[in-house]
Structure 1
Amino acid sequence: MRLVIDGDGSPVKEEVISLGKEFHLPVVIVTSVDHYTRKEYPAFVQFIYVDKGADRADYRIVKEIQKEDIVITQDYGLASLVLGKKARAFHHNGKEYLIETIDELLMQRYLGAQMRKSGSRTKGPKPFTAEDRQHFKQILREVLQKSSSLRK
């Protein structure tokens, strides 16, 4: 099992890395070359850089993931592809994407895009707070604890 982050806009990279260390799991961060960093990371953290362009990181994540990996993304489209490969997917708000509900989320995304295209304004996401960060970390910690106890 690995923790895979859709890294271009993820506000929870450090929390995932912290949990990767705690549970001895590799962390893979897939991001555009626009987000290249020289920051030093522990050896269990791997960066995969992709060319600029819409969905490049998503396609690479789909190529990289394996059954039982956990993907962190806010992209419903990517989440649907991940679920199809028997991996798990979580939003940075801690909510797990599920096969049973992904179609509804994709439809909401489509309808929102149609509204914006016709000139309507839609509300964006609320600012990500320290409490949101802690909530995400607690949810993922519980998931990892349960997974590690099942593997023993």
Structure 2
Amino acid sequence: MTTLYVDGDACPVREEVFRVATRRNLPVVVVSNGARAARPSGLPSVRDVLVAEGADAADDWIVENIVRGDVCITADIPLAARCLERGARALSPRGRPWTTDNIGGALAGREIAQGRRDAGLMTGGPAPQTRDDRSRFLTALDAAVEAARRDLLAPPPRPWVSFE
């Protein structure tokens, strides 16, 4: 069964995830660290996991538990890349599916932006979530869940073998 993993630290689309999960009867795991614990949902299908404080503690927990056929909702590009490596799907809160085709460019862009921030050339965070962003996210989450369910039905990918 597909499980939705939510990077719970400041996730702006938790309620949307809960709505889709309830409609599709999917389990949800919201993972937060001790510094910024997410408010418990109170829903029976939602498991709240509180990990120790630490820069990547929540990310590490998700990566250790996510498997092929699951979906991670995160704005954290390195976490999305790690989930893809595990064979899972990843989706940004704005509805952008992270794929093996686009994650490399996103990681590179993140490094460039970090360099600009470190040099004092950029300030501020992401723009607030709009109604269009939420709508796009809901559509993308439905598509990601369907794709993840197909992943579960397909045979696992064969490991790459070199014949050199």
TM-score clears 0.5: yes
How far apart are the structure 2 equivalents of 1:67 and 1:18?
Answer: 22
Partners of 2:94 and 2:136 within 8 A in 1: yes
How far apart are the structure 1 equivalents of 2:150 and 2:68?
Answer: 18
Q: Determine the structure 2 residue equivalent to 1:94.
A: 95
Q: CA shift at 1:32, angstroms? A: 1.4
Q: CA shift at 1:4, angstroms? A: 0.5
How far apart are the structure 2 equivalents of 1:93 and 1:27?
Answer: 19
Change (3 A) 1:91 1:107: same
Q: Determine the structure 2 residue equivalent to 1:59.
A: 60
Q: Determine the structure 1 residue equivalent to 2:73.
A: 72
Partners of 2:80 and 2:98 within 8 A in 1: yes
Is 1:117 aligned with 2:118? Answer: yes
Write the mapping of 1:133-148 to structure 2, written as runs, cut at 5 A: 133-145=134-146
How far apart are the structure 1 equivalents of 2:150 and 2:114?
Answer: 41
State the secondary structure of the residue aligned to 1:48. strand
Residue-by-residue CA offset, 1:62-115 (whole Å, 9 max, x unaligned): 011111100000011001100000000000111100111111111111111111
How far apart are the structure 1 equivalents of 2:147 and 2:109?
Answer: 31
Q: Determine the structure 2 residue equivalent to 1:25.
A: 26
Change (3 A) 1:27 1:115: same
Q: Determine the structure 2 residue equivalent to 1:126.
A: 127
* Unmatched runs of 5 consecutive residues or more in structure 2: 154-164
How far apart are the structure 2 equivalents of 1:150 and 1:81?
Answer: 17
TM norm structure 2: 0.83
Residue-by-residue CA offset, 1:1-44 (whole Å, 9 max, x unaligned): 10000000110111111111111110000011234466451211
Larger deviation, residues 40-49 vs 23-32: 40-49
Change (3 A) 1:41 1:85: same
How far apart are the structure 2 equivalents of 1:88 and 1:50?
Answer: 22
Partners of 1:112 and 1:122 within 8 A in 2: no
How far apart are the structure 2 equivalents of 1:40 and 1:83?
Answer: 27
Change (3 A) 1:143 1:37: closer
Identity between Structure 1 and Structure 2 (%): 33
How far apart are the structure 2 equivalents of 1:33 and 1:121?
Answer: 28
RMSD: 2.1
State the secondary structure of the residue aligned to 1:80. helix
State the secondary structure of the residue aligned to 2:101. helix
